[in-house]
Structure 1
Amino acid sequence: MTTATPASTGPVESTVDGKSDKPLLRFGVPVGVAVLVAVLSQIPVLVNRVFYYWDDSAAQFLPMWYRLGQRLMSGDFPLLLDTEAWIGGNLTAEAMFGVWNPVNLLNYLLVANFDDLASAGAVVKAEFMVVLALGVYFLAREYGASRWAASAVAVALPFSGFTLYFEASIWIAGLMAFAWVPHFWWAARKLARGRIGTIWPFLFGALCVTVGNPYGLLGVGLVLLVLMIEFRARKAIVRLFALGATVGGVALLVFLPLLGNSGVSWRNSKELFNNAQLVPSLQDYLSSSLPSYVPGIHSFSTISVRMTFPAMYLAWFVVPLLAWIDWSVLRRRWRQLLGVLVIGGVYLVATLGPSNFWMFRWPLRLVEYFYLAVMVLFAVLLSAGLRRDHVRRRAWITVGGLAVTAYLSFSSWPKIAVWHVVAVLLLGVLVALAVILFRRGGSRPLVAVLHVGTAAALLLQIVWFPINRDVAPYGFPSSVAELKTFAARYPGTMVQVADRDPVIYKGKGQFLEPDTAVWRDLLFGNVYRVAGVDTTTSYSGMGFKPFHKALCLNDYGGAKVRDCPGDTFSNLWTSTPEGVLADLIKVRTIVVQRALIDVPYVPKGWKVAERTDYVTVLRRERDMPDWGAARLSRTTPGMKVTEDAMPAQHKESVAFERGTAKGPLSMTFARLNWPGYKATVDGKPVEVRNGPGGLVTVDLPADVSSGRLALTWTPPGLWIGVGGAVVGLLAALVLTLVQRRRRSS
């Protein structure tokens, strides 16, 4: 039986079941974990090819990744702004695209070389499931778990219900952030023990923070706080505090632009309420080992009474083996495991509500962080082996636990009673095998059963629950070649007047399979980014309120047909002192969903270019004067523009003359006036203000008759953030050198 050393002296290094630990295991076991997770991550794809190309991953992440990868290949960096994505184009404020994260950028280049976005998603998400598994493995080892016990929990956690069906399938930014947290925890704890330098936990912390997901930042902060509680020595606390300061510098780079844009965004992070959406209960944890248990958690549908997949599943072996664990280990080592216990306790409480708190919403998102602590603790306990005494009593306790689990699962969804029976029988057989093989052969055959059971449970779940149906089942095309055909059909700046609800919903909140034929004419979210179509249809977590109000758009770029004055189509023709809104946006193509407006009004100068079963396409008969390929859309009548150049997405330069124009001069650009725009004429600052719909409008001084206007955009707090990140990196390097010299002296 494996004997775990105290956490303060590091993980088990020398004995496994009383035998000499070969040096090859130090590398072989984590490599085996990585390979096994990579292989198992492809099981969902075998059953459902688009498992990793679903909901937000299909509408938001993968299309934008493809677009960003193309920009990187063309040498366009840094990725600050995408004017063609309109309300979804403020890349720094959106944060979730992680444009400062080097691993993300490499993956964007990778995705841009795929011909199929579903395949690209499967590769990138498998990568981060492997990263997560390795982090769990090393963290469990750091707390004293044996290699084999650490491998069991490391392989299982990436396939827990929420992590697989939500994070990996749709909310990939959450998985990216979560995957780096155990690495940071492991490295920060080694730093507190004086085993490594500050640079290593700094790098993992920076990778976590620059993903742009606030839950990763929360995880980093909580880990630092808890480790200060665990290690009360002054030196350890000073090291951790310094580490926090260095990572905090990087956090400024990521989150200052988000906060700086809160005044114009519709998500101002001032929410505090509880509507019970995605809020688990304590009862749900009791059945977290049954692969068929579907929790009674209120989801996104207004008529939801339960989820459609095992969202609270952890691992098949945790609950059934509780009766066989040597709990005296916890009594002896609670002080060394204090960090794990505190983090687990904090996240457990947080998962129980409220549903919305500041920038954090839906407590179910915190379940995987609680499960991380549970799995580390379980690995440490499992390393001591299973108890060999009171076999009959422990067996009856296990049977009773499975019976309770079966009843709770049946009560939650009686319709799938047969699945519950199969799942309980599987767990019973696996537990019996685990106990018998451990008694005969020790920990290694036990862990082999744990791995086999993880694979079997995953296969059953994917067959029974091939997808997360609590979210929008878009069914977008994944072929890059197919998506690129939209560029020729919808040239120039395009406004789409469409709503996804008639396509994927029936009645009030009831999901249907989408009519995928409609995607030949309509797309939502960021999917047009693959084709390079300049369109107001894009996905945004931030939004831009002035433009949203002017055109009645929602977060996925659809036409808002409720709670909005007018509608998207009629508002395009709104006359303003600067001109008609459609002209100011430089619209060339308008796509109107026939389910909303069957026969749209055709203004003068426009024509019906195409009419299908789903859309009517309007196009200008003559292109607007655009003064080149940039985004100037209107000048004071009579002004002469000799050049309009856009060297980068966040820069534009206009050479102009007064011409025959009388009175004050002004220019309007087909750009959203995000905070951070500045303009100069021949080096002298001039005012930038909101024009119609929040478009960038520049008023020129009365005495200016000619010159060159330079328009630039810098995200709020960018240079403070860059300075903070650079100082943080340099400080981490200096601290590491100092620490190395002290260890060698």
Structure 2
Amino acid sequence: MPRPRSTRSEFPGAITAGVIVVAFSLILLCHNPLAFWNDDYQLSVLPVFADMARSWSEGNWPILSPYSWVCGNLTGEFQYGTFSVFINAAVILIWKFPLTFPQQAAALSITHLFVLAIGAFLLARDRGFSIPLSTFVALVASLSGWIICWGATDWFGALGAFTWLPWIWWGAKRALDPQRTKWRFLWPAPFVYLVVTGGFPYTVLMLLLLIGWLSVKTMWERRERRDGRDTEVPPTLAMLPMLFGVALGFGLSAPAWLAILDLVQGSARELQSPAAHWQWLVPPAALPGLILPCWTVNWADFSSRYLPHTATELASGLVAPAALIAGLLWRGRVLVKQIKWELLLLLLVLLLCMIPTAGLFRWSFRWLPFFHLALAICAAEALQMAPRSATVATTTLGLVVLTAIAMLILRASGPYAFPLVWIFIALAAGWYLSELALRDFEFRTWIPVSITFLAFLTTYYFMPTNCGVPTYNFSQELLKPAPLDRARLYLSIYPWAELTYCVANKPEPVGQTLRPGSTSMWAGLHFINGYSPVRPAGVAREFATSIHGEINPKVGSYLLNSQAGKDGELALLGVDGIVVARELDITPQPSSEWEQIVSTDEGRIFHRRGAPLARVRSVASIDSRPNEQFVASTISQIDDSRNRVEVDVDVP
């Protein structure tokens, strides 16, 4: 039995693979400086990270935020990775540099892509792949369509968590290796912690599926063995180091998952429409997009509408699906025997991409990063077994041509077929010719890696990495509070941000007055509004806020017309500032209580007359006890910090 590989000896190659991914990302950034700056990254992720950096600079752990009531529980919102040591360290470091918003987003995503590539490389090397094939696995895992088009550019939590899934796979395999020391159970623990605290519940499901698959695979394979030093250990006991390490990782991450389990109780997320489970499923008709990402068929979008959509999320660098298909065609029996468990995992994850989920989970295409990782492993096995890569190159050329013909016949070409199809044909033909002409070339094994790199680059150069989500023109002026007042608590009433203030409808800078989503956190302004997928019980449900921070228009009209007086609900909450969008014809009443301070192109700002309301006050009654009256108390010595409030209360 071969000795375990030395981790230290593999890191130069792993870092090289990571550098290749960084170089790719920088090329993408040069092509489009706003590539990593879209939708949720703008409304939610980056403003919260700015607040986290501010919190650390003040000497506080960013557990809560005083700048949003809806999104005040940063730990419970989960997606910000507030308990992840790595994410916090990256945020602290990146915010030390004078970068613009798009540059901060790019730096954060590229950092995680670099680490993801290293983990995928180490996983591949532990499976016995060559350095070129391990680099190939790293490229497919970190540059696949869903990771680039959603994880790295929109839903950062998905990238922040998935970055560590290859590391868990790598660590779990080491924990299962009986040749390693008795401390081998420690290998998966830190990576389980980093996945769970990374901020994406779907990746926790991927983790559980991976551990379950490894457990079943280990038990089955050990029962089949009849010799070897490890057969004396019962299959059930052989899994204990891995399972103990996973349990340890979940224990380390307990504050993160306990926080979201607590916050989600009674939240609007619990009451989400069943229709959400049928949105963003991978349609079977889209699978040719694994070969040609410009393949266009109908997908169910966020509004459950079936609209034409390119298969950019399925982009896999051409070589991976072609190599696996070639292996199954030319050496199917041998390949299936070699990787039957990996193929089972691949097909299972693909099925999960296509069927609706249940409970709090939605949008099953979020399984695609795991699918691409499994695909890369299976394809690398096929390439390693191929006696001549010319066979794979021939199959690749044939698949591209056949898919292009099918695209024309089925009218699935979409708007980006030209020149992408011709470039893919040229890449496949160039690969085939190079295999014939460079049989004795020393670096011939790097040709599939080069084709993968160029296929990804071509895909993201000629097709938008933004898959139809809105973008906003947020300027650096949002770091300044003007024309608002940091001493006041604001309620902002505005229409749907993604429709009204996106670049397509408002190309000029926006947000300075309304502060949509969680953008108030950039300037340290206190708002009721905030971006929250959970929308926890309390003010978020009371005001019927949407995910992007909008107040329900009917609720907003009721609050401003009936609850804005000195004894109204807004006064009880401490709201002494109101922002109303230009598109809405509402004014807080009574007019004797409010005065208009500023009117801009975005909207109007109203302040309650007099000085700002105190943050901590004594009240005589509360709605939950309508028949009781309380004695007014004297509040003094107020210490209103980020995560706690300490006061001296004198009750007469």
TM-score range, shorter chain: 0.7 to 0.9
* Mapping for residues 559-708 of structure 1, pairs under 5 Å: 559-561=551-553, 564=555, 566-570=557-561, 572-573=563-564, 579-597=567-585, 601=589, 603-624=591-612, 626=614, 630-632=615-617, 634-635=619-620, 639-643=632-636, 645-658=638-651, 705=652
C-alpha separation between the residues in 1 aligned to 2:521 and 2:34? 19
Q: Distance in 2 between matches of 1:599 and 1:559?
A: 15
CA contact 1:221–1:244 (8 Å) conserved in 2: no
Report the CA distance shift for 1:560/1:436 in structure 2 as closer, same or farther (over 3 A).
farther
**Any residues of structure 2 matched to 1:389-428 within 5 Å, and which?**
398-410=396-408, 411-428=411-428
Encode CA deviations 1:633-661: one digit per residue, 9 max, x unaligned.
Answer: 63568724241523533422332334xxx
Matched, 1:486 2:481: yes
The 10-residue stretch of structure 1 (106-115 or 605-614) with the greater mean CA deviation from structure 2: 106-115
User: Would the alpha carbon gap of residues 304 and 531 (structure 1) be closer, same or farther in structure 2, given more than 3 Å must change?
Assistant: farther
Give deviations 1:210-254, integer Å, cap 9, x for gaps.
113212211222222111122223442122222232223235322
Partner of 1:673: none
Kindly tell me the number of residue pairs found equivalent between the two proteins: 622
Find the residue that maps to 2:290 and give its secondary structure.
coil
Report how far residue 150 of structure 1 moved. 1.1
The answer on 1:28 being equivalent to 2:20 is no
Q: Please say which of residues 263-272 and 183-192 is displaced more in the overlay.
A: 263-272
Find the residue that maps to 1:619 and give its secondary structure.
Answer: strand
- Once residues 641 and 600 of structure 2 are traced to their aligned partners in structure 1, the CA distance between those partners, rounded to angstroms, is 37
**1:279-338 per-position Cα deviation (integer Å, ceiling 9, x unaligned):** 112332233132433453222356551225612111121234456548787745756645
2:358 aligns to what? 357
Deviations 1:391-449 (A, max 9, x none): 6xx7775444223321444422444442343234233334324533663336x3242x3
* Equivalent position of 1:137 in the other structure: 121
- Partner Cα distance (1:254, 1:60) in 2: 19
**Contact 1:226 1:342 (C-alpha < 8 Å) held by counterparts:** no
Where does residue 146 of structure 1 map in the other structure? 130
TM-score with structure 1 setting the length = 0.77
SS of the residue corresponding to residue 643 of structure 1 reads strand
Residues 505 and 404 of structure 1: CA distance in aligned 2, closer, same or farther (over 3 Å): farther
Change (3 A) 1:548 1:313: same
SS in 1 for 2:645: strand
Contact 2:291 2:400 in 1 (8 A): no
**Quick check: 644-653 or 584-593, which moved more?**
644-653
Equivalent position amino acid for 2:93 in 1: L
* Deviation larger for 174-183 or 545-554: 545-554
Q: Tell me, in whole angstroms, the C-alpha distance in 1 between the residues paired with 2:206 and 2:194.
A: 13
Q: 1:415 to 1:244 in 2, by over 3 A?
A: closer
Structure 1 gap ranges (5+): 1-7, 14-22, 659-704, 706-745
Question: Which structure features the higher share of helix residues?
Answer: 2
Deviation string 1:507-557 (CA, Å, 9 cap, x unpaired) is: xxxx93534343343321111101000011211121134423543422222
Q: How does 1:196-595 map to 2 (within 5 A)?
A: 197-232=184-219, 233-268=235-270, 276-300=278-302, 305-307=307-309, 310-322=312-324, 324-325=326-327, 331-332=333-334, 337-354=339-356, 356-387=357-388, 398-410=396-408, 411-433=411-433, 435-436=435-436, 439-441=439-441, 444-447=443-446, 449-477=447-475, 479=476, 482-487=477-482, 489-491=484-486, 492-501=488-497, 504=500, 512-561=504-553, 564=555, 566-570=557-561, 572-573=563-564, 579-595=567-583
CA 1:317–1:644 in 2, change beyond 3 Å: closer, same or farther? same
Q: Given the superposition, is the C-alpha separation of residues 568 and 434 from structure 1 closer, same or farther in structure 2, using an over 3 Å criterion?
A: farther
The answer (yes or no) to whether the contact 1:271–1:358 under 8 Å persists in 2 is no
Check the 8 A contact 1:281/1:352 in 2, yes or no: yes
Q: Deviations over 1:196-217 (max 9, x none)?
A: 6122211111111111321221
Against the structure 1 CA distance between its residues 436 and 523, is the aligned structure 2 distance closer, same or farther, given a 3 Å change threshold? Answer: farther
CA contact (8 A) 1:101 1:211 kept: yes
Please give the secondary structure, in 2, of the residue aligned with 1:287: helix
- After superposition, give the CA deviation of every residue in 1:685-713 in whole Å (9 maximum; x if it has no partner): xxxxxxxxxxxxxxxxxxxx4xxxxxxxx
Question: Displacement, 1:167?
Answer: 0.6
Task: Report % sequence identity.
Answer: 21
Alignment of 1:174-193 (within 5 A): 174-193=158-177
When residues 12 and 323 of structure 1 are mapped into structure 2, their CA distance, relative to the original with a 3 A threshold, is farther
Instruction: Tell me: CA distance 1:475–1:300, structure 2 relative to 1, closer, same or farther (3 Å).
Output: farther
Aligned pair in 2 of structure 1 residues 463, 244: CA closer, same or farther (>3 Å)? closer
1:692-737: CA deviations, max 9, x gaps? xxxxxxxxxxxxx4xxxxxxxxxxxxxxxxxxxxxxxxxxxxxxxx
Residue 77 of structure 2 is aligned to residue 82 of structure 1 = no
Match of 1:61 in 2: 45
SS in 2 for 1:83: coil
Say which structure is richer in strand: 1
SS of 2:388 mapped into structure 1 = coil
Tell me if structure 2 keeps the 8 A contact 1:55–1:473: yes
Q: In structure 2, what is the Cα distance between the partners aligned to 1:57 and 1:331?
A: 46
TM-score under structure 2 length normalisation: 0.87
